[in-house]
Amino acid sequence: MSKTERGLFEIYRNDPERADALAFGRRTGKSGHQASRRGFLKGAGLAAMGAALGATIPFARHMPGGLVPAAFASEHEPFVIEGKDGLRLLNDRPLNAETPAHLLDDAITPNSRHFVRNNGLVPDAARAGDASGWKLVIDGEVDNPLSLSLADLMNKFVSHTLALQVECGGNGRASFDPPAKGNQWSTGAVGCARWTGVRMADVLRAAGIRESAVYSGCYGNDRHLSGDASKDVISRGAPIWKMMEPHTLLAWQMNGEALPHWHGFPVRIVAPGWPGSVSGKWVRRIWLRDQVHDGRKMTGKAYRTPAYPVAPGEKIPDEDWRIIQAMPVKSLITYPRSGAALGVDNRVMEVRGHAWAGDSLVARVDVTHDFGATWQRAELDTPVNRYAWQNWRARIRFPSKGYYEVWARATDDRGRMQPFAMAWNAKGYLNNSMHRVALRVPS
């Protein structure tokens, strides 16, 4: 009988204490049963784990039971994508790719390092950079339906340039246990680019919004995977108040350049702080509705979470699913890269990254290097404008050589704090658990 191969995370998921024993050597108590992790890590198992990591673990006594060391969370090799630098491919049809955390260190995410989340195929005109035939229709609950060219947007409305953070609603899905279906994003489905365009509010006002308008519905020019031109790829929307928020843009530039074809050329919506699916790309129509939009991927369980905590496999009535709106508070460590080592005779490291909080502001970021036993407040910048992510940094002094993990924890201005681990949900959305990186201090 052949053996079934099991990965490290599967072993830890099923029986973390046994996983420690299998990976790093067994330690038993007087009764013959395996000891708990804290007991196990006092003996040969701790030495074996340290050998695997290439260093001793000064704060091993604080390690939570069943914790998979961050150093073992291996990354996939980069896949070459046109116009992109070092992104990891999750799917090629449609193309979905994320950016490793250490490549998101810039305060403004370069076009080449901004994640890609597509539901269909890029329009041919977008690939060719041809906007000559493009029109944007604004209709529905309006008194003055509009049909606008790119020149109309540029010349008839005031343009604005804003740094705006966009994140996929499924960012962090790979960390859910048991796994949730969908693209297995780790931490890199997020970016903060500088977008240039017009305020959505100005365009909708020009169309004469009726009091009956309560929701928007967006339609794009992307092509359905089946090739059937009559099928919508995705058609999502948001409440009118979010569309009228002054930071929601109809953008035609990304970091001073025409939108790359991956990112919605010639025009896209940027509705920051909400799941990226609301920021429709290759937009051709905005339909104002007198009801919640019911386009493709707006109904059922798409981009929705249960209204209450659920157990894996639990049946959830349809009426108990809620549409995702603002994204939760979150932080990311972008320097150093996980697995890095400090220089010889150096025990001080500056750690830095970004933090964001949906429609809110980040009030503080704290870091720990001893598995959460103590926390150190990081220096936190104010955003360059509302809805830009906030940069942070902290100088950490390590007490001795060995293996360490640095964890980051953000808290928003309403007191909501990142958890160590996020409660499971069936669609794998809104995972804002703390980011961890592994470090080694050689001497």
Q: Each residue of 146-204: pLDDT tens digit? A: 999 999 999 999 999 999 999 999 999 999 988 888 999 999 999 999 999 999 999 99
Per the domain annotation, does 203 fall within a domain? yes
Residue 78 lies in a domain: no
Give me the percent of the chain exceeding a pLDDT of 70.
85
Q: Are residues 361 and 409 in the same domain?
A: yes
Q: What is the CATH number of the domain that holds 192?
A: 3.90.420.10
From 304, 323, 342, the end of a domain falls on 323
The CATH number that applies at residue 386 is 2.60.40.650
- Answer yes or no: is 63 within a domain: yes
Torsion of CA 7, 8, 11, 16, to 10 degrees: -170
- Do residue 255 and residue 383 come from a single domain? no
Contact 330, 152 (CB under 8 A): no
| pLDDT of res. 92 | 84
Out of 139-153, 321-335, 418-432, least confident range: 418-432
Would you say residue 2 lies in a domain?
no
Please tell me whether residues 156 and 33 are part of one structural domain.
Answer: no
| Within a domain: 82 | no
Per residue in 345-379, pLDDT (tens digit) is: 999 999 999 999 999 999 999 999 999 999 999 99
At position 244, the amino acid (one-letter code) is M
Residues 284 and 182 in one domain: yes
Choosing from 323, 343, 375, the residue where a domain stops is: 323
**pLDDT score for 330:** 98
Residue 350's beta-bridge partner residues? Answer: 395
> Mean pLDDT lowest for which of 16-20, 83-87, 145-149, 172-176?
16-20
Interatomic CA distance for residues 240 and 215, integer angstroms: 5
Residue 48: domain span: 8-72
As a whole number of Å, the end-to-end CA separation of the chain is 47
Cβ atoms 130, 259 nearer than 8 A: no
For all residues of the chain together, what is the average pLDDT? 89
In a shared domain, residues 338 and 281: no
Q: Is residue 3 part of a domain?
A: no
Number of domains making up the chain: 3
pLDDT at 31: 40
33 and 158, same domain (yes or no): no
Residues 311 and 396 in one domain: no
Tell me the two tokens of residue 198.
């017009």
Assess whether 318 and 335 both reside in one domain. no
Beta strands in 344-401 (DSSP E): 348-356, 362-368, 376-377, 379-380, 390-397
Q: What is the pTM of this model?
A: 0.86
Q: Are residues 65 and 144 in the same domain?
A: no
Q: Tell whether 210 and 270 lie within a shared domain.
A: yes
Dist. CA 272–CA 386, nearest whole Å: 9
pLDDT band at 32 (very low <50, low <70, confident <90, very high): very low
Q: Is residue 81 part of a domain?
A: no
Q: How far, CA to CA in Å, does 40 sit from each of 7, 73, 296, 402?
A: 21, 22, 51, 19
105 shares its domain with 46: no
41 and 107 part of one domain: no
Q: Is residue 210 part of a domain?
A: yes
- Domain end (from 296, 323, 350): 323
- How far apart are alpha carbons 273 and 163 in whole angstroms? 12
Question: What was the pLDDT predicted at 60?
Answer: 81
